[in-house]
Amino acid sequence: MGQQGIEITEGTLIRATLKGSDLGPAFRSEYYALGGRDKRILCWKGEWDSEEGDELICELMDEINSFIPVEGYYFGSHPGDASDFGYWKEEEKFVRGKRSN
C-alpha cells in the first residue's frame, strides 16, 4: 500500500461537517494533490449531496487511502469524532468482534 515520495501529516483535513457538498470537493482536492488523475473523478459535475455523490465520496476515501505511504495509518473519520476527516494512526484492530492489538 502507498506511494513512494508522498508525505502525509496526521491530523484533520476537514471537520465539523458531514455534508457531501463540503466533503466531496475537499476529498477531490486532496486526491488531486496526492497525484490522483482519474478524469472521471476530477471532472465529475454531479450533485455531491446525492446517492451518486455519496458513492464518489466513498470511492475518493478509498483512493486517498491507496496513496498513504506508511502502514498503520488511514484516511477517514476520527474515531472520536465522526465529523473530523483526515489522516489518523490505527490504534486498535478488531478481529471477529473482539479488540486485539
CA distances (Å), 30 to each of 15, 41, 42, 65, 71, in order? Answer: 14, 12, 11, 11, 19
Average pLDDT, the chain: 89
Q: What is the pLDDT of residues 6-55, one digit of tens each?
A: 888 999 999 999 999 999 999 999 999 999 999 999 999 999 999 999 99
Overall average pLDDT of the 60-74 stretch: 94
CA distances (Å), 88 to each of 37, 45, 70, 83, in order? Answer: 24, 29, 11, 13
Confidence of residue 91 (pLDDT cuts 50, 70, 90): confident
